[in-house]
Amino acid sequence: MDNTAVATELEASHAHLARWAAELEERSPLEALEWAVEQYADRLTFATAFGPEGCVLIDLIGRRRLPIDIFTLDTGLVFPETYELWQRLEARYGLRIRGVEPELSVEGQAAVHGEKLWERQPEQCCHMRKVVPLRAELARVDAWITAIRRDQTPQRAGALVVEPDEKFGIVKVNPLVRWTKKQVWAHLLEHDVPYNPLHDRGYPSIGCAPCTSAVKPGEDERAGRWRGTAKTECGLHGPARASA
């Protein structure tokens, strides 16, 4: 296929997704998930970090028995409470959540790049422990589901329910993109969905333990992520970048 044909095909695909994004904008998260299953079947996956939004989606998938593959990026640096939540969710809904590990263990990374790379070069650490493993997983599918919301960060403000993911070259489905934090927590409490107990201890956004701190009253809910740096994203939802 020549470059002109490829460009035409991409334009048609983007137009198709734009029509569905408009259609799904007023639909429920469950309807967005069901649409994704209908469109992509076994070429679909859901990456979760077990945040409140991810737990909502696991609840919807689990209670409706939707045939959606679920995995989490096990960086080896997550909180013990996060590992415990992982097990609780699997037991509650009778499903399997795959753990995807980076090429290097934490000890292996220290041997190659020095101790506590996350303190010296957090972008490189996230890239190796999250972005590279995610890219390998997404290379096997046509679409992935995320739990992002528009009001979480400026980078996510323009996200659509379904959109092309230029970073990974597949389709991205964001069922909760229109929801607010209040809606997320209302769902968790109404359906008694397991969630990370750290949220009750001042951690509204939870990532790897070395790079996550409690948030003070009045601070942004992501202020505890990479505190003291300009970093606000781990690189999974940002623009494309070259491989490191």
Rounded Cα distance between 150 and 61, Å, is 21
Residue 189: other Cβ atoms inside 10 A? 10
**Beta strand 69-73 with 162-165: parallel, antiparallel or unpaired?**
unpaired
Residue 61: other Cβ atoms inside 10 A? 22
| Spatial CA neighbour of 62 closest among 90, 99, 83 | 90
Task: Show which residues are catalytic.
Answer: 234
Rounded Cα distance between 164 and 88, Å, is 33
Q: What is the largest CA-CA distance in the chain?
A: 56
SS3 labels along 29-73 = HHHHHHHHHHHHHHHEEEECCCCHHHHHHHHHHHHHCCCCEEEEE
Structural tokens at position 121: 């070069």
The rounded Cα 88 to chain-centroid distance in angstroms is 19
Give the full edge-to-edge strand order of the sheet including 170-173.
98-100, 69-73, 44-47, 143-145, 170-173, 162-165
